[in-house]
Amino acid sequence: MKVGILQRKAAWEVLQAVSAGAYADFALDRVVRKYGLKGVDRSLVTELAYGSIRYRSLLDSWIDHLGKLSANKQPPLLRLLLHVGLYQILKMERIPESAAINTTVELAKCSQLVKLAPVVNGFLRSVCRFIDLGKKLPSPIKTSERLAQEQSLPVWLTTDLISWCGEIQAENVAKAFNKTPSFDLRVNSIRESQKNVQRELQSEGIRSNYIEGIPNGLVLNNGLGDLQTWPGYSEGKWCVQDRSSQWVSPLLEPQSGENILDACSAPGSKTTHLAELIGDEGEIWAVDRSLSRLKLVAANASRLGIECINVLKADALNLLEEKPDWKGYFHRILVDAPCSGLGTLARHPDARWRMTPEKVDELVILQERLLNAIFPMLRPGGRLVYSTCTINPNENFRQVERFVSRHPQIKLQNQKQIWPCLEKGGDGFYAAVIENT
């Protein structure tokens, strides 16, 4: 196989898997393991696959404009292959146009698309000529449609974004969705200091910086190989957690010796953070419907050396029926609710194409039921934090304000929306602090 073909073939396979319904991160991991790709090869596959998925709508616009058939009329396999080639031409400046074209054509020749190799070659060359002439795709007049095309987002989402935060911030948020996400770590304060972890990583050539406003956070400036081989991983000195996610657990202000419930726990980054905040002294219950995901919670806790976490497979909607003695039992409760995930589109490139307004409406109903089911387990004087990784006010401010209006005995202490930020990085997150008076 010619140089550079394997990485493109792997990326193409990721696109095919996602098109068939797989989640991008799982598809990428499976393909990378299949071909044993590491280091720069893995990075290239990740960039090609995630970039092509992220910019799917924009790439389709180019096919619609310059192809003999529109994108939705192209054979699906050909359409995805054109995405791989197009993404390199449009978004990867370090890859020469000739390399992008030649490797994509070679992939066609080595596959069932062999007879369409001339089509691939002709289309990609026409794109390059179009760009060389200084031409651009026609831009829609309506702002939401223009933003959707330029930043490769569903029109319903750009329309909502503008209504939520105005045109200027909507543009910044949309651009942040397409920024490569930061790689953040949370230092395990029980086992090591932030300074020492930074020094150990530096000894292996892995550079990092402190994250403003996040006490135990580090952002990596580079990464070398498999993170499980990095200093401190096996000793449980740190874990991977986005900076915005690290902001949530401290809002509970948990104290040593308290009873704490994480009602939607898996995979457990916030659960283990809570355990670190109480010095591993107390009783934390990690609840989730998925046994396989609960195993991740247990595995993470074990690696981090945390012993105060108990896991329970249960549906949080029916938790009080299963555990009637938990009524009024917990000092602190975290409801990190299932949500649309619209704050994490940079990290999950396929999520923008999976979510729909109808699915959001269903999630709003589920979140309301969760809050109603979980709240009776909070003792008087206790604190509940409701959090999501979305930016949709129906799931956030409006959801919480409706909940508070139905319960006169509770007080909304504060609430905050963190938007995806182009300059500072971090996912979009929301959290509300609720007191049971």
- Active-site residue numbers? 389
Residue in 234, 246, 164, 163 with CA at minimum distance from that of residue 210: 246
Judge whether 289 and 315 are in contact, CB under 8 Å: yes
Partners of 288 in the β-ladder: 313
- CA–CA distance, 294 with 278 (Å, rounded to integer): 21
- Give the helix/strand (H/E) hosting 6: helix 5-19
Query: How far is residue 290 from each of residues 179, 287, 309, 310, measured CA to CA in Å?
Result: 31, 9, 17, 15
- CA–CA distance, 128 with 123 (Å, rounded to integer): 9
- CA–CA distance, 65 with 82 (Å, rounded to integer): 13
Q: In what side-by-side order are the strands of the sheet with 283-288?
A: 309-313, 283-288, 259-262, 330-336, 378-388, 429-436, 410-418
The CA-based angle 271-275-276, given to 5 degrees, is: 115
Judge whether 420 and 343 are in contact, CB under 8 Å: yes
Q: Classify 172 as helix, strand or coil.
A: helix
- CA–CA distance, 301 with 138 (Å, rounded to integer): 52
Judge whether 311 and 250 are in contact, CB under 8 Å: no
Judge whether 227 and 197 are in contact, CB under 8 Å: no
Retrieve residue 135's tokens: 């031409």
Judge whether 356 and 364 are in contact, CB under 8 Å: no
